[in-house]
């Protein structure tokens, strides 16, 4: 069921390639905002020096510290940017996700009006849904403290370091899992909103929780599988990127292409996840897939109301 969900999901994404591009460009443009002050500072500091030449090869550690020392304003700029940009990006992603879910629910590929209409229709509800979900997220994030409790219980207050070390990894793993679970609950709740036109967000949230935990094996395997897929490709990317250290234009360009290819892949994964989860959700509900529910005027009217 999972593989067929992914297969159907991929097929759906393939029909909506332009959507991948929209998500990718959103990510790229926000990242550009986060990059430009850095670039300006580096360019100003080292743009006309031999250190600037060296930067094309391996990044010298001296340079990083000198940049920090001599560009203190960067810290305040990024202090602000790191608050604003990720939050705005999150809102934009949420907005776009409405379009994506609506498109997948329709099942006949990307169409610009339907995408943007979906995005606009569900944005408000998704925001309300998020607020409703916060207590659930808080509970899920407490999952990591299971490790703390068990460690205390079994090994006492003064455990050997290897207990703490492996416990630390377990805790990290639990944290990752709880993030994935939060995202899953939120995804299935959104799917419920889109497929049923539900306007009471607590109902959709409850549906999301039931879908996730009622079929935990399948829902988790799907989401975590795709998450691992992204992590694995990143793990492969890293050594390749490190090896691309030769200071010439071709290598620098290759690295750029590789990076952006990876980001495109990430967007593809995200949309595949949305689409597969929608398929799985329908399968679990016993409905045929793909459904054409988002064309149901009730959904759109509900949003307009």
Q: Which residues bind another protein (CB under 8 A)?
A: 27-28, 30-32, 34-35, 38-39, 42-43, 45-59, 61-63, 65-67, 69-70, 85-86, 89, 158, 160-162, 164-165, 168-169, 171-172, 175-176, 179, 230, 234, 238, 241-242, 247-249, 252, 255-256, 259, 262-263, 266, 270
C-beta closer to another protein: residue 39 or 202: 39
Distance CA 50, CA 52 (A): 5
C-beta closer to another protein: residue 4 or 70: 70
Buried b (16+ CB within 10 A) or exposed e, 90-117: eebebbbbbbbbbbbbbbebbeeebbbb
C-beta closer to another protein: residue 14 or 65: 65
Q: What is the largest CA-CA distance in the chain?
A: 66
C-beta closer to another protein: residue 232 or 252: 252
C-beta closer to another protein: residue 69 or 286: 69
Distance CA 135, CA 138 (A): 5
Least distance from C-beta 244 to another protein, angstroms? 9
The two tokens of residue 225 are 């599988």
The owner of tokens 């202090």 is 79
**Three-state DSSP class for residue 72:** coil
Alpha carbon 110 to its chain's center: 21
C-beta closer to another protein: residue 57 or 135: 57
C-beta closer to another protein: residue 44 or 298: 44
Least distance from C-beta 108 to another protein, angstroms? 27
Distance CA 61, CA 38 (A): 16
Least distance from C-beta 203 to another protein, angstroms? 28
- Tell me the residue ranges of DSSP E strands in the chain: none
Least distance from C-beta 85 to another protein, angstroms? 7
Least distance from C-beta 162 to another protein, angstroms? 5
Distance CA 184, CA 211 (A): 9
Least distance from C-beta 301 to another protein, angstroms? 33
Distance CA 264, CA 236 (A): 16
Least distance from C-beta 291 to another protein, angstroms? 28
C-beta closer to another protein: residue 3 or 84: 84
Q: What is the DSSP string of 110-131?
A: --HHHHHHHHHHHHHHHHHHHH
Alpha carbon 86 to its chain's center: 12
- Check: CB of residue 2 under 8 Å from CB of residue 221: yes
Judge if the upstream peptide bond of residue 290 is cis by omega within 30 degrees of 0: yes
Least distance from C-beta 46 to another protein, angstroms? 5
């Amino acid at each position: 069921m999972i593989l067929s969900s992914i297969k159907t999901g991929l097929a759906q994404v393939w029909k909506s390639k332009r959507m991948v591009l929209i998500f990718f460009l959103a990510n790229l443009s926000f990242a550009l905002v986060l990059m430009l002050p850095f670039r300006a500072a580096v360019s100003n500091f080292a743009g006309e020096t031999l250190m600037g030449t060296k930067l094309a090869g391996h990044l010298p550690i001296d340079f990083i510290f000198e940049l920090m020392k001599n560009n203190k304003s960067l810290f305040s700029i990024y202090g602000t940017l790191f608050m604003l940009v990720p939050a705005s990006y999150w809102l934009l992603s949420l907005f776009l996700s409405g379009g994506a879910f609506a498109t997948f629910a329709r099942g006949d590929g990307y169409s610009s009006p339907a995408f943007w209409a979906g995005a606009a229709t569900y944005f408000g509800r998704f925001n309300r849904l998020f607020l409703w979900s916060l207590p659930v997220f808080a509970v899920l994030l407490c999952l990591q403290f299971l490790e703390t409790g068990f460690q205390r219980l079994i090994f006492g207050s003064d455990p050997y370091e290897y207990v703490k070390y492996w416990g630390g990894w377990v805790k990290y793993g639990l944290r990752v899992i709880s993030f994935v679970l939060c995202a899953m609950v939120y995804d299935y709740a959104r799917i419920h909103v889109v497929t049923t036109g539900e306007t009471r967000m607590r109902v959709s949230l409850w549906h999301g929780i039931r879908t996730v935990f009622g079929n935990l094996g399948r829902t988790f395997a799907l989401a975590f599988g795709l998450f691992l897929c992204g992590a694995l490709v990143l793990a492969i990317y890293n050594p390749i990127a490190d090896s691309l250290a030769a200071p010439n234009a071709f290598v620098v360009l290759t690295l750029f292409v590789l990076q952006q290819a990876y980001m495109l892949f990430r967007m593809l994964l995200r949309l595949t996840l949305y689409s597969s989860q929608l398929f799985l959700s329908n399968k679990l509900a016993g409905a045929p897939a793909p459904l054409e529910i988002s064309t149901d005027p009730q959904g759109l009217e509900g949003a307009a109301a």
